[in-house]
Amino acid sequence: MVDAGDPVEFAAYAPSNIALSKYWGKRDRSRNLPLNSSLSISLAEWGSHTEVAPSESGIDQVSLNGEVLDMGTAFASKALKFADLFRAGRAQPLKITTRNTIPTAAGLASSASGFAALTRALCGSFSLSLSEAEMSLIARLGSGSATRSIWHGFVRWDKGRAEDGSDSFATPLDVTWPDFRIAIIPVDVGPKSHSSRDGMNHTVDTSPLFAAWPDQAEADCDFIEAMVREQNFTALGQRAEANALAMHATMQAARPAITYLTQDSWAILERLWAARKNGLEAYATMDAGANVKLIFEAQSQDDVTTLFPEAQVIVPFAG
């Protein structure tokens, strides 16, 4: 893919992210080209530190959180396949070391930060001076959501139109919102029932409700971007929650159905909705797993942590 030199040791970091307007459905599965644009908030210091170096043992080695992985594990094989884009057939054995700072108890997937950090580390290791937009495009080939993890803050991934994906990458919104907060309410921190990739493809293939999704999701993304720029928290939160529930509705209508949300997830939503009737300004979003994420502003933090003592709060615009 790229004309690269010999690798050197290089370390990089990328934050994880949570979509406020979701990526769900691909128009091209091999290139991870989405059917709709999406918009996320990055999770500051919750992410992946990745180092790429030439392997002195002469064979590829991948480690994750201090453990050297068997080459058959999904993470190792995906990471090396991705590195092949940079090696382009040359014999350049690599040592890839990744450490996630996302608390295990948060139960958040780390493929977004993992592939974004790996992209940055590989670009540095192979001495490629690419723009961040170019890195975002490359990260997309590893995992769609990684496209957005090249940046901090609010990030929009425009779906693009080109068949080769050359215009499908993310860019940051030039907005800071120091009072913006995210909380993870952990429900189930074990491995998920279906990978998001399989869940997404199955929904596109079988859900009669999916036809309504791409246009609605595109409109949601535009609206949420406008509300981020206006810093209109209520309108942003309402639309983000509606967008997440609509995504889950497309999965529930898949045949057979996919349900990432459990009774515990729904119980959290019921509690949130009851508190909102009493004036709490917090909104929920859920991804391909049972955990519930809340968004709110700093002035609501005490109320949120009183209602959900297990909440893990993230400050996306810290310092």
Binding residues for ligand 2P0, per CB under 6 A? Answer: 19, 22-24, 32, 38, 111, 143-145, 196-197, 287-288
Distance CA 180, CA 192 (A): 28
Residue nearest to ligand 2P0 (CB): 144
For the bound state, the minimum distance from the C-beta of residue 299 to ligand 2P0, rounded and expressed in Å, comes to 27
Distance CA 28, CA 141 (A): 11
**How many Cα atoms sit within 13 Å of 57 on the Cβ side?**
7
Distance CA 212, CA 243 (A): 12
* Contact by Cβ (8 Å): 307, 271: yes
For the bound state, the minimum distance from the C-beta of residue 46 to ligand 2P0, rounded and expressed in Å, comes to 14
Distance CA 247, CA 249 (A): 5
Pairing status of strand 94-100 against strand 61-64: parallel
For the bound state, the minimum distance from the C-beta of residue 260 to ligand 2P0, rounded and expressed in Å, comes to 8
- Closest CB to ligand 2P0 among 4 and 118? 118
Cα angle, residue 35 at apex, residues 30 and 38 outer, rounded to 5°: 110
- Closest CB to ligand 2P0 among 254 and 307? 254
* Contact by Cβ (8 Å): 72, 81: no
For the bound state, the minimum distance from the C-beta of residue 223 to ligand 2P0, rounded and expressed in Å, comes to 16
- Closest CB to ligand 2P0 among 24 and 223? 24
- Closest CB to ligand 2P0 among 181 and 293? 293
- Closest CB to ligand 2P0 among 285 and 300? 285
For the bound state, the minimum distance from the C-beta of residue 79 to ligand 2P0, rounded and expressed in Å, comes to 13
For the bound state, the minimum distance from the C-beta of residue 281 to ligand 2P0, rounded and expressed in Å, comes to 23
SS3 of 122, please? helix
Task: Looking at 207-232, list the stretches that DSSP marks H as alpha helix, in order from N- to C-terminal side.
Answer: 213-230
- Closest CB to ligand 2P0 among 98 and 196? 196
Query: What's the token pair of residue 280?
Result: 């709490």
